[in-house]
Amino acid sequence: MNYSEGRHAIFLDRDGVINRAEVREGKPYPPNSLAAMEILPGVSEALKELRKAGFLLIGVTNQPDVARGTQKKEVVESINAALLSKLELDEIFVCYHDSADKCACRKPKPGLIMSAATKYKINVSRSYMVGDRWRDVEAGKAAGCATIWLNQDYNEKAPVDPDFIAGTLLESVPWILSRIRRNHD
Q: What is the CATH number of the domain that holds 166?
A: 3.40.50.1000
Over range 33-59, report the average pLDDT.
97
Over range 56-65, report the average pLDDT.
97
- Name the residue among 165, 145, 164 with its Cα closest to residue 55: 145
- Is position 4 within any domain? no
**Range 68-78 burial, b when 16+ CB lie within 10 A, else e:** eeebeeebbee
pLDDT of residue 5: 67
Q: What percent of the chain has pLDDT over 70?
A: 95
pLDDT of residue 132: 98
- Is position 3 within any domain? no
pTM of the model: 0.94
Residue 64: is its pLDDT beyond 80?
yes
pLDDT of residue 1: 41
Residue 48: is its pLDDT beyond 90?
yes
- Is position 2 within any domain? no
Q: How many domains does the chain have?
A: 1
- Name the residue among 64, 72, 5, 3 with its Cα closest to residue 33: 72
- Is position 131 within any domain? yes
Q: With DSSP H G I counted as helix, E B as strand and the rest as coil, what are the percentages for the chain, rounded to 5?
A: 40, 20, 40
Average pLDDT of the chain to the nearest whole number: 94
- Is position 1 within any domain? no
| Burial tier of 162 (Cβ tally within 10 Å: 0-12, 13-18, 19+) | buried
Lowest mean pLDDT among 1-10, 70-79, 116-125, 162-171: 1-10
Q: Which residue is catalytic, options 15, 65, 132, 136?
A: 15
Quote the domain boundaries for residue 134.
9-184
Q: Is 136 a catalytic residue?
A: no
Q: Is 15 a catalytic residue?
A: yes
Strands (E), the chain: 9-12, 22-24, 27-29, 56-62, 91-95, 128-131, 146-150, 164-166
Residue 182: is its pLDDT beyond 70?
no
